[in-house]
Amino acid sequence: MREAFWVGRLGMPGTLLLEENLERLMAHLAAVSRRVVHVAESAHDLFAGEQDFDRFYRTWVYAQGLTGGDPPFGTGISAEGNAALIMLASTRPSQVRNMPVGSDAIAALAPFKASDAETAAWLDRVEAISAKLPFRFERRELWRKPAVALVGDGLGEVVPLRRTLWMQSFSDNPSRDRFHVWLAQRLDRWEAWGKMAYQRGAPVLTQHLLAMVMTVCGDPEGGVVSGRARRML
Q: 146 and 60 in contact (C-beta within 8 Å)? A: no
Sorted by where each begins, the domain ranges of the chain are: 2-109, 112-226
Q: What's the pLDDT tens digit per position in 85-132?
A: 899 888 888 777 777 776 667 766 665 566 777 778 878 888 888 888
Q: 36 and 126 in contact (C-beta within 8 Å)? A: no
Q: How many Å apart are CA 50 and CA 23, to the nearest integer? A: 18
State the Rg of the chain over Cα. 21
Q: What's the pLDDT tens digit per position in 193-205?
A: 999 999 999 999 9
pTM for the structure as a whole: 0.48
Banded model confidence at residue 21, pLDDT cuts 50, 70, 90? confident
Q: At residue 232, does pLDDT exceed 70?
A: no
Q: 92 and 188 in contact (C-beta within 8 Å)? A: no
Banded model confidence at residue 230, pLDDT cuts 50, 70, 90? very low
Q: How many Å apart are CA 26 and CA 23, to the nearest integer? A: 5
Q: How many Å apart are CA 198 and CA 192, to the nearest integer? A: 10
Q: What's the pLDDT tens digit per position in 37-78?
A: 556 545 556 666 667 777 788 888 888 999 888 777 777 889
- DSSP H helices, the chain, are 2-3, 18-33, 51-63, 79-90, 103-108, 116-129, 173-184, 190-200, 202-214
Q: What's the pLDDT tens digit per position in 127-152?
A: 888 888 889 999 988 888 899 999 98
Q: At residue 225, does pLDDT exceed 50?
A: no
Q: At residue 222, does pLDDT exceed 50?
A: no
- Percent of residues, the chain, with pLDDT higher than 70: 76
Q: At residue 31, does pLDDT exceed 90?
A: no
Which of 97, 92, 93, 114 shows the shortest CA–CA distance to 222? 114
Q: At residue 206, does pLDDT exceed 80?
A: yes
Query: How far apart, in Å, are the Cα atoms of 109 and each of 38, 102, 203, 206, 224?
Result: 19, 12, 31, 27, 11
Q: 222 and 216 in contact (C-beta within 8 Å)? A: yes
